[in-house]
Structure 1
Amino acid sequence: MNPHAQTVFSYHQRTKHTLQRYAKGPDTLDWDDQPDPFRHFAGCEAMPLPKPGRELDVLFTDLDTPQSIPEQPLDLKNVGLLLELAFGLSAWKEFGPNRWALRCNPSSGNLHPTEAYLISTGNPFIKPGVHHYISHDHSLEQRCLFPDTFHSPGLLIGLSSIHWREAWKYGERAFRYCQHDIGHALGALRYAAACLGWSVELWAEVSDAELAHLLGLERHDDFKKNERESPDVLCRILTKTNNPPMSYQTLSALLPTAKWFGVAESLRAYHLYNWPVIEEIAVATGKPRTEELHLEATLQAPPASACQQRATALIRQRRSAQHFDGKMPPLPAADFYRILGAVSPDTAAFKLWEWPAKTHLFIFVHRVEGVAPGLYALIRDGGALEPLKAATLSMFDWKKQPGPLPLYHLHSGDLRLTAKTLSCHQPIASDSAFSLAMVSEFRPTVETAPWRYRQLFWECGLIGQVLYLEAEAAGVRGTGIGCYFDDSVHEILGIKDDTFQSLYHFTIGTPLEDKRMQTLPAYGHLPNPL
């Protein structure tokens, strides 16, 4: 076996939670040691972006048909809105002496390991080069200045991860959560771009080494040793009318004469724990340059939504529910089918995704109008239906449900206690309308290319971002669940090997609000926003 693939399988096995023990993590949490969630580079030219908070008239339902959305001009005002809706602050929360920020892109434990960089070429409104986005200040720091010789306009977004931000709380399992967050960030970027009449093209061929070179992440002296960033993905922002040809090679040709600025400030922490296995899995899943197949799917609109909110407002109101009302009325069936239809791989939300769907949903239905409580499966790629039938319990009836969705009934019964137990005994999995396990095609994917281990988690995070926003559109709320008992989930489903593995859980229901918490404006702290 490829030694990198063996490292992946070993890491995945050792970071499973079980009913007997949790994956290795810190014995205690020193809150004075919590990493700074906002990275800054000292010695860079900073550029405030135009005032955040602008609304557009585009409705959330309009995002089902992005071709009909008016295209906004490619200018600094709209680029600022893109960054805000994808990675910016959505609110501040205050409870007693404690105050913390929420963002439009969710993160495990609100720790935010994802960093975003804007790469600009040939745009009159911003200097050419690499710019780091600071969500706290809604501003850009110019890390790199390109020679002003490339006149075709281009705008790209690069994403990276500071693994230690998650490891501070979650230990060895943190690498998984960083990958979830990249998927969420990709989804957030897609929704933000769609609001502007733009789209996102994933440059799937680019290697980690190439991306690190472009973003300056291999400049190790610019980062504190334990706080370096790992490259993840590179995307190009496309408009409907002006997309001149561009490739990584055209960008890399600018780098030999580029000028770099700044040094990353310390994230103000003591690094009491060290988790070397995270570096091992990061190396084993490093992505080489690849030749990817660009899938051209015919987009299908999901079942109609009754939501009449502006998309920008709905994106900013997204929250992770902390508690659900277990006595809630059932979720309307129309909302349930709309939510499931929205995660189909042929909807607009997944247009940026360059690869076949590898992740399927096993759904614990608790309270949905007209849907019998029990276990169901949503098969996101028809080719996985028979392998999943063979891999799961023979008692499952796999009865196709009426309607166009590939939704199958497996077992009837009250599974609230089961869902709660599997999700680390968390009531949010049982007090909801429904919860689910995302089960991915695992061993064949990783054996083929170990770096696709990360890709599977990205796909789960992208699905999670769709679920978050669809829940808000339905007037309820969602929460991603990274803590679950891996092999107990497999045992309940009947999965006996690692051909399939559960990689993420999610739950949707009516939230219980903690009225002791005060909600403050996202950018009320800015003194004089432009």
Structure 2
Amino acid sequence: MKSDQTHSDPLAQVIAYHQASKHHLDRYAPGPGGLDWANQPDPFRRYAGAPHVELPLRADALPTSFESVRRGERPTAYPLERDALAILFELSLGLSAWKQHGGSRWALRCNPSSGNLHPTEGYLVCAALPGLAAGVHHYLSHDHVLEQRAAPSSESWGSELHGGVVVALTGIHWREAWKYGLRAYRYCQHDCGHAIATVAYAAAALGWRARLLAGWGDAELATLLGLNRAEDFADAESEHPEVALWVGPEPPPANLSPSTLADGLSFAGLANRLSHAQHDWQGIEEVDQAAHRPHAIPLPAFQPTLRPPLAESGCQASAATLIRQRRSAVAFDGVTSLPAERWFAMLDALLPRPDAPPLDIWPWSPRVHPLLFAHRIEGISPGLYLLARQAEALAELRGALHGQWTWAKVARAPEHLPLYQLTVGDVRDAARVISCHQDIAADSCFAVSFLTEFAKPLQDKPWAYRELFWETGLLGQILYLEAEAAGIRATGIGCFFDDALHRLLGLDGLAWQALYHFTVGGPVEDRRVRSLPPYTHLRRPG
């Protein structure tokens, strides 16, 4: 995958990885060829010897409705203390259920993951709060505890952390690579985007806001979290910094610095080994280095367009209930249809608004524009449609997509919804074939290909490769919860034939690329699989 030229050029390395990790109609991206079940990675990272704080299970007592959350109508902010942070983690990275079939039992989480393998880990950086010591904590979702990875030597440490906390996300690439091989790095970034969204939704339910700390670099974040402490990972798989979020009732302080926070910390705990053996995928290591985020990245100045409030979904569930009932569908019935007005409302939720989570966390202008395979939308002709999430992108897309496309604005859609019909006709076979011949892309109400502005954002910023995948994960999480609110279900599709989709649209070069697929419809439940509550194994009071 690597030549001497790409070795010295991070952007060329990113492009080389992207091309090498594509699936093609006649071959798949390099993978393990089979699954070594005895070597499946442990989905839970633990730090042996680290002090831990038990968190109460309080999400059931949170009265905030999902309808108010999706519309950006926050309740009075909860106080910043242990019990509220317990709800934040319970509804963002915590367990949502256990599944059981025969002798197998596995956990589901509020943040979805490719293959349910969960490469994303969560950390809390906070000053001393009621019920919680100052320092750096790792969230262990299985036990719903915070493991204190680092404690400060000074009582004045973290004085700049007022009005909020830092929630940091990291990735363990091996968890995905065990199953998916070279393409796993993409999936780790999808999952990070989903997790960013779950934190934003959970924060909004508490009356808080989440903000992405775009200027924090990888090296500084790794130091703050202790990820570069070789002695703590001597026998464990490596963990990589992804992103830091500011979460709380107040905006982040202007002087917030990961390097300053890293001073004077004493670390404790040894990371557990997840598999007895690991296959190193060189291409993943190379792209991770090439997409390294430097420190002090200039902050973008994007301001969302003012739009009408989201149409009401009719969902009566609390935010806690709906967030935890989210599941990834494994099959669709091929019959269920979706009213056009509900479809429009789902798509409207993909447009950024100043106060509506999770897109209020996103500091960049939209670079992802959903291509829609409409199968069963009541009153809408089956066919291909496109949602241009930014007005300026429409002209570029019209110039990039070569073919006999109609580009007719959908008359029934709300005036502010930039939804365009490209062609009418049965597109189920196209959706199925392009999504690695999976029926789930054709048996749904609609399927999605997240068409992404690609070459331009990467110029002089190879780390933006990760941001593009994060944005698709954010949009995917919106569709997950909007589907649940509509009484149907969704699932992400990481396996698709990249360039087959590009050829269908007449796309040339790398200006635009499909980075993620999705599908939404009426689910078929597997009655053989039992569903169990998430935390009964703890026998812990709320």
TM-score by length of 1: 0.96
Is residue 208–residue 288 contact of structure 1 (8 Å, CA) maintained in 2? yes
- Provide the secondary structure at the position in 2 that maps to 1:340: helix
Residues 28-427 of structure 1 mapped to structure 2, 5 A cutoff: 28-146=34-152, 147-150=154-157, 151=159, 153=162, 154-224=164-234, 227-239=237-249, 242=250, 245=253, 247-249=255-257, 252-271=259-278, 273-289=279-295, 290-297=297-304, 300=307, 301-328=309-336, 330-346=337-353, 348-349=356-357, 350-402=359-411, 403=414, 404-427=416-439
> Which stretch shifts more, 288-297 or 126-135?
288-297
Cα displacement (A) at 1:221: 1.9
What letter corresponds to residue 197 of structure 2 in structure 1? G
* Mapped partners of 1:299, 1:269: distance in 2: 53
* Mapped partners of 2:56, 2:254: distance in 1: 27
Q: Gaps (5+ residues) in structure 2? A: 1-5
> Which stretch shifts more, 297-306 or 413-422?
297-306
Are 1:16 and 2:26 matched, yes or no? no
- Provide the secondary structure at the position in 1 that maps to 2:174: helix
Match of 2:508 in 1: 496
- Provide the secondary structure at the position in 1 that maps to 2:185: helix
* Mapped partners of 2:306, 2:51: distance in 1: 42
Cα displacement (A) at 1:244: 7.2
Residues 458-469 of structure 1 mapped to structure 2, 5 A cutoff: 458-469=470-481
What letter corresponds to residue 170 of structure 1 in structure 2? Y
What letter corresponds to residue 161 of structure 1 in structure 2? G
* Mapped partners of 1:434, 1:374: distance in 2: 10
> Does the C-alpha gap of structure 1 residues 471 and 32 become closer, same or farther in structure 2, counting only changes over 3 Å?
same
> Does the C-alpha gap of structure 1 residues 346 and 417 become closer, same or farther in structure 2, counting only changes over 3 Å?
same
Kindly provide the CA deviation profile for residues 319-366 of structure 1, in whole angstroms up to 9, marking residues without a partner as x: 0000000122x2111210111000012361211101111000110000
* Mapped partners of 2:254, 2:232: distance in 1: 28
- Provide the secondary structure at the position in 1 that maps to 2:482: helix
Are 1:479 and 2:487 matched, yes or no? no
What letter corresponds to residue 413 of structure 1 in structure 2? G
* Mapped partners of 2:410, 2:234: distance in 1: 54
- Provide the secondary structure at the position in 2 that maps to 1:362: strand
What letter corresponds to residue 272 of structure 2 in structure 1? E
Match of 2:460 in 1: 448
* Mapped partners of 1:144, 1:255: distance in 2: 9
* Mapped partners of 1:340, 1:435: distance in 2: 12
Cα displacement (A) at 1:53: 4.3
Give the count of matched residue pairs. Answer: 525
Is residue 205–residue 291 contact of structure 1 (8 Å, CA) maintained in 2? yes
* Mapped partners of 1:41, 1:244: distance in 2: 29
- Provide the secondary structure at the position in 1 that maps to 2:105: strand
Match of 2:3 in 1: none
- Provide the secondary structure at the position in 1 that maps to 2:125: strand
TM-score by length of 2: 0.94
Is residue 54–residue 81 contact of structure 1 (8 Å, CA) maintained in 2? no
Alpha-carbon RMSD across the aligned residues, in angstroms, is: 1.6
What letter corresponds to residue 443 of structure 1 in structure 2? A
Cα displacement (A) at 1:210: 1.0
Are 1:439 and 2:451 matched, yes or no? yes
Is residue 48–residue 529 contact of structure 1 (8 Å, CA) maintained in 2? no
* Mapped partners of 2:541, 2:65: distance in 1: 26
Is residue 160–residue 230 contact of structure 1 (8 Å, CA) maintained in 2? yes
Cα displacement (A) at 1:311: 1.1
What letter corresponds to residue 175 of structure 2 in structure 1? R
Kindly provide the CA deviation profile for residues 146-177 of structure 1, in whole angstroms up to 9, marking residues without a partner as x: 22214453411010000010000000000000
* Mapped partners of 1:376, 1:90: distance in 2: 34
* Mapped partners of 1:10, 1:453: distance in 2: 12
Is residue 172–residue 238 contact of structure 2 (8 Å, CA) maintained in 1? yes
Is residue 72–residue 204 contact of structure 2 (8 Å, CA) maintained in 1? yes
> Does the C-alpha gap of structure 1 residues 519 and 299 become closer, same or farther in structure 2, counting only changes over 3 Å?
farther
Are 1:522 and 2:534 matched, yes or no? yes
* Mapped partners of 1:459, 1:281: distance in 2: 18
* Mapped partners of 1:64, 1:51: distance in 2: 23
Cα displacement (A) at 1:69: 2.0
What letter corresponds to residue 72 of structure 1 in structure 2? Y
- Provide the secondary structure at the position in 2 that maps to 1:351: helix
What letter corresponds to residue 508 of structure 1 in structure 2? V
Cα displacement (A) at 1:372: 0.4
Kindly provide the CA deviation profile for residues 235-269 of structure 1, in whole angstroms up to 9, marking residues without a partner as x: 11121xx55735333x5334332111011011133
Cα displacement (A) at 1:30: 0.9
Kindly provide the CA deviation profile for residues 11-40 of structure 1, in whole angstroms up to 9, marking residues without a partner as x: 100110001000000021011100000000
Is residue 206–residue 248 contact of structure 1 (8 Å, CA) maintained in 2? no
> Which stretch shifts more, 386-395 or 407-416?
386-395
What letter corresponds to residue 26 of structure 2 in structure 1? Q
Is residue 360–residue 380 contact of structure 1 (8 Å, CA) maintained in 2? yes
Q: Gaps (5+ residues) in structure 1? A: none
